[in-house]
A and B are shown apart, each in its own frame.
Chain A
């Protein structure tokens, strides 16, 4: 079993689950609550949008239990100032002080703009937000975010919604090795094996949205990802031996059939 003391601390909160989830792309909002129950995820992202004055949409927050920490994102922001405005609105609206900074100008790959992200992180950290920036994997940028007061870094594994897994694996490995902040691998994690891979490498958590939400059974997929995250974490803590080029016998080779 995992150590009960092996928890993830972000801001002033303690999380037993290292699987962060998202609310985007669910076929029905009704699927979110069972997914949260099945996965045990304790933090979930939401987005803020102008209401469609023609339609009356149901409140997504009704589907998220109070025990789950809300992580509003700043999606739609193309500049630091827009991200800051969204963050302030989300906090004023009663969503707590966690914020996932997401500043995107590249509409093909949805890669984050690290420069604008840093500016937003500096401003919001000074305003006592728990700042979780979605970032292009870069070790210097990781240090800058640390100095800016971010609570964690969220390097992307591969483009949002691509299900490609850890295209950025080597950069993420270096970030995990060097970062003084918790590392949450966000975006592109398409399978439980990708999540396990990130956790085995020593990531502190992963954020999975598309893969769970677009599966035929989000509760089952959520549970599968939760198990993979736990397995990966346990393997990391167990400190597995490195791969070797040659065989190393696991049974005695000194048999009794030959002399």
Chain B
């Protein structure tokens, strides 16, 4: 299915946020996940099913002044 991931249209087979994050090989503890403009806490990633057209942002805190 087609989703928007970090501003880019991509195809994914991942059925949940957790699967998507695992597929990208990202460190869970540094991730902030915004799913359709709502922040989803880590313990809900497995329960959040990805649908066609979803807008997903994978963010993290970085250095800044």
Contacts and interface: CB of A to CB of B under 8 A. Distances in A.
A26 interface: yes
Contact of A22 (B6, B31, B65): B65
A45 interface: yes
B30 A59 contact: yes
Given A47-B62, A57-B30, A187-B65, 10 more contacts: A23-B63, A48-B32, A48-B60, A56-B25, A57-B62, A89-B59, A92-B32, A93-B61, A209-B65, A213-B65
A227 to B, nearest CB: 21
Interface string B1-40: 0000111000000000000000011110111101001010
B65 A25 contact: yes
Interface of B: 5-7, 24-27, 29-32, 34, 37, 39, 57-65
Interface in A3-57: 22-26, 29, 45-51, 53, 56-57
A190 to B, nearest CB: 13
Given A53-B24, A92-B39, A47 B30 contact: no
B25 to A, nearest CB: 7
Interface of A: 22-26, 29, 45-51, 53, 56-62, 72-73, 75, 85, 88-89, 92-93, 95, 160-161, 187, 207, 209-210, 213
Given A59-B29, A89-B32, A93-B39, A50 B63 contact: no
A209 B62 CA distance: 14
Contacts of B34: 89
B63 A26 contact: yes
Contact of B64 (A29, A45, A92): A45
Nearest to B57: A50
A51 B32 CA distance: 9
B65 A160 contact: yes
B30 A48 contact: no
A22 B64 contact: yes
A89 B57 CA distance: 11
B57 A47 contact: no
A51 B31 contact: yes
B62 A48 contact: yes
B29 A50 contact: no
A24 B6 contact: no
A46 B60 CA distance: 10
Contacts of A46: 61-64
Contacts of A88: 39
